[in-house]
Structure 1
C-alpha cells in the first residue's frame, strides 16, 4: 500500500489539530500586536515620546527572547495540552490588564510579562506539527499555522482599529484578553497528542509515524530518555548550520517586528493618513505576507514530492523572500500612498515566503532536542524584538522615517547572505559525544 493510498483512506484528524494551532497563532499575534494599533492614542493619552514608545514595543522582546531556550525545554518536558492552555490564559490576563494602567512603567512590566508567557508558544507549535505531520507535509503545515499571524492581522487590523474607535485603546486590550481566555479553555478540552487522540484512525497514525512524525512525546524510547544536562544546551550552539538558521531568523524577525510595532504609527504620523483609513491600508501588507507564506509552504512540499533536493525545495523560497524584503527601502523614494503600500506589501510578501524557516528545525535539529533547538532558534530571532523597536525609536525621533526603512532593508539582506552561505546542506544533525 502506498503512502498516498494510505493517506487517502485514513482519517484526517491532523488537520483539526492544525486548525487549532492556526487559531492559537492568530490570538498569539493579536496580543502581541494590538499595542501597535493602540500606540497612537496611547502616546497622546499617557504622554509618551517616540523613544519611550520604542521601549514599550521592545519590552515584550526582552523576556520573550531571553526565555526562548527555557521555553523550548519546557515544551519538551511538559504535556502540550496543559502547557499551552496555562500560558495562553496567563498572557491573556496580562493583555487584559494593559487596558487598566496609565503609566510607562506598568506598560513595560505588562508587555514583559506577555513575553514571559508567550515564550514557549512557538517551540510548542513546532513540536505539535512535528508530532502530527509526516515530513513531506510539514512545510505546508508550518506554512498554514505561520500564516495565522499574517491572515489574522490582515483581517483583524481594521477590526482592531474599529474597536479602538468605539471603545478606546483600553477597551481594545480588555476585549483581546477575553478572547484569549476563552480559547485557552477550548484548547484544554480539545487538544490531544496523536497517540491519545481517541478518534484518530490506525491508518492515519501509521501514516504519520512512517512519514517521520513523532507521534508520542518524541520518538526516543523511554529507556533512552534522560534529564536535561548542559551538554544538551551546548549542542544547540556549536554547529555552523544552526547558527546560519539563527542569524536568518533574527533577520526575518526584524521585518516582522517593524510591521507588528511601528507600522501603523508610520502610516498615521509619518505619512499623514487618517487613523481609520490606515487600518484598512495596514491590512494589505499582512494579506500579502499571508499569500507569501502559503505559496512558500505548499510550493516547497510540492517540489519535495516531485523529487527535487531538500536544498532547492526548502531554501529557495526563503532566499527569494529575504531578497524581496529589501524592497521596503523603496518606500523612501515615493510620496504616493499607493506605491508606499506597494513597496511595503512586496517586502512583507517576501517575509511571508521566508517564514517557513521553522521547517529546518524539524529537519536539522538533533532528534531529542527539537524543543531546545527551536527555543534557541526563536531566542535569536526574538532578539530582533528587543533591538529593532528601540533602534527605530531613536532613528525616527527627529521625524524622518527613512533611516528606519534602510535599517530594516539592510538586515533583510543579511538574512539572504546567511541562508545562502552559512546554512549549507540540509540534514539531521547527530550530536557530538
Structure 2
C-alpha cells in the first residue's frame, strides 16, 4: 500500500480554521454591540434580547442539525451551515439602514438565524474526527478543533476592534461574512470521507479503521426522518447522561469567561476597560495551550496502554481541579494574583475540555450526529443559565464572591460525574 499519508491532520487543521471563524462570528455582536446600541438607541434590555437570540436558536436547532448530519453527511451539511451563517453575518451589516424598530427586529432575526445555522458545526466536527482518527489520536484531534474557540478570541478580537474604530461597526460583519463565504471553497476542496479523499491512500484509511475510526460513517446514511425515540434511548445510558451533565458544567466555566469575566475585572477588581480588555485575552491564551496539552496527554496515556476511561478521565478531572482555583480570587487582593489564578483556572478548563473526544468515543455509529447534537444541546444550555444566574447573584449580594463559588462548584460537579456516574467509557450500541 506504500507509505501511509497523513491527510487526517490536514482535515483537523481545516476544522480548526472553520471553528475559529465560527467563534469569531459569534463574537461580532458583542464587540460591535456598544456602537450598535448608540446608533440604534437601544437600551440594555433591548441589547440583552439581541444578545440572547443566538443562544436560544443554537440550542433549539441542535437535534434537527444532528439528524441532518446523519441523513446527508458531514461535508454537505457543514458546507451549507457555513454558507448560511456567513450570509446572515454579512446581511447584519445592513440593519443600520432600517428604521429603529425594523432594525431591532432584523438584528434579532439575523442573530437567531446565525445561531440556527451554526448548530450542526460542533456535532459535525466530532463526527468528522470519529471518521478520520483512530481512538489513540482522537483526543489530540478533538482538542485541536476545540481550542479554536480560544484562538478566535486572540486573533479576531483585535482585528474586529480595529475595524470598528477605523470603518464603523458594519465593517466587522462584512469582513467576517466574506471570510466565511470564501472558506466554503477551502472546505469543499479539502474535506471528504476517508475512503473517497483524493489525497488519502489506502494505508492511511486502513490505519484509521484498525484503530477504531468510523471510516464508512457517511456511506451508511439513514433515510428515515428524525425520531425522538432515539433521543430517549441515548438518555437511558447512564454513561451518556453523566457525560452530558458534565459538559453542561464545563461549559459553565466557558460562559463565565466570555460573558461576565471582563465585568468582574472592571467592577470587582477596579481595572480600566482598556486594561480589562488586554487581561481578558490572557485566560484565552492559557485555555488554548491547556486545550492542546490536554488532548496530547490523553492520547499519550492511551498509547502507553492505559484504558480509554483512564486516558480521558485523568486530564478532565485534573483540569477541573485546576479550574476550581478561581474561587481563591475571593481571598487575594492584588490584581496580579487575580490574573494568575484566573489564567490557571482557564488553563485547567482547557486541559479538561475533552468532552468532544469522549463524544466521538461513545456515540453510536448510526447516530453520531444525533448524539453529538444532544451532547451539544445539554452543554450549551449553560449559555442561557450561566449569565442569568450570575446576574442574580451579583445583584443580590453586591459582589462576585458567590458567583465565583457558583462557577467553581460546576467544575466539582463535572468531576463527580466522570468519577461517579460515567463509569467505563465505551461506544454505545443501539440496535
Could you list the per-position Cα deviations for residues 347-405 of structure 1 after superposition, in whole angstroms to 9, with x for gaps in the alignment?
21121112111122222222211111111110101111122223334444587444433
Task: Determine the structure 2 residue equivalent to 1:358.
Answer: 356
Task: Name the stretch that deviates more: 117-126 or 35-44.
Answer: 35-44
Which 5+ residue runs of structure 2 have no aligned equivalent? 97-102
2:387 equivalent to 1:410: no
Mark the CA change 1:273 to 1:349 in structure 2 (over 3 Å): closer, same or farther: same
Q: Any residues of structure 2 matched to 1:25-424 within 5 Å, and which? A: 25-48=19-42, 52-101=46-95, 104-218=104-218, 227-228=224-225, 229-268=227-266, 271-396=269-394, 400-424=399-423
The 2-side partners of 1:270 and 1:50 are apart by 20
With the length of structure 1 as denominator, give the TM-score of the two structures.
0.89
Residues in 2 aligned to 1:162 and 1:376: alpha-carbon distance in whole angstroms: 37
Assess, with a 3 A threshold, how the Cα gap between structure 1 residues 90 and 40 changes in structure 2: closer, same or farther: same
Report the alpha carbon displacement of residue 189 of structure 1 after superposing the two structures with TM.
3.2
Distance 1:278 1:374, change over 3 A: same
Change (3 A) 1:206 1:74: same
Secondary structure of 1:161 counterpart: helix
Deviation for aligned residue 1:96: 2.7
d(CA) in 1 for partners of 2:50, 2:231:
31
Asked if 1 retains the 8 angstrom alpha-carbon contact of 2:143 and 2:357, the reply is no
RMSD of aligned residue pairs (Cα, Å): 2.6
Q: Is the 8 A contact 2:21 2:180 kept in 1?
A: yes
Structure 1 gaps of 5+ residues are: 1-5
SS at match of 1:430: coil
Indicate the larger mover: 180-189 or 97-106: 97-106
Q: Report deviation, 1:284.
A: 0.8
Contact 1:293/1:352 (8 A) holds in 2: yes
Q: Aligned partners of 1:318 and 1:210: how far apart in 2?
A: 26
Q: 1:38 to 1:358 in 2, by over 3 A?
A: same
Check 1:335–1:177 CA distance in 2 against 1; reply closer, same or farther (3 A cut): farther
Closer/same/farther in 2, CA of residues 127 and 283 from structure 1, 3 Å limit? same
* SS of equivalent to 1:236: helix
Contact 1:236 1:372 in 2 (8 A): no
Partners of 1:285 and 1:348 within 8 A in 2 = yes
Q: Partners of 2:301 and 2:338 in 1: how far apart?
A: 34
The answer to whether the 8 Å contact 1:136/1:304 transfers is: yes
Q: Cα offset for 1:219? A: 7.3
Deviation at 1:275, TM superposition (A): 4.2
CA distance in 2 between partners of 1:406 and 1:198 (Å): 52
Corresponding residue number in structure 1 for 2:100: none
Report the more deviating stretch, 241-250 or 32-41: 32-41
- Compared CA separation, residues 37 and 62, structure 1 to 2 (3 A): same
SS of aligned partner of 2:235 = coil
TM-score (norm 2): 0.89
Name the CA distance, whole Å, in 2 between partners of 1:361 and 1:254.
18
Deviations 1:34-93 (A, max 9, x none): 333334444555455555544433321211112211111111111322221211121112
Q: Is the 8 A contact 1:130 1:214 kept in 2?
A: yes
- 1:331–1:96 CA distance, 2 compared to 1 (3 A): farther
Stretch of structure 1 that moved more, 275-284 or 420-429: 275-284
Contact 1:51–1:397 under 8 Å retained in 2:
no
Tell me the CA shift for residue 237 of structure 1.
1.2
Partner-residue secondary structure (3-state), 2:306: coil
Q: Give the structure 2 partner of residue 20 of structure 1.
A: 14
Count of aligned positions: 423
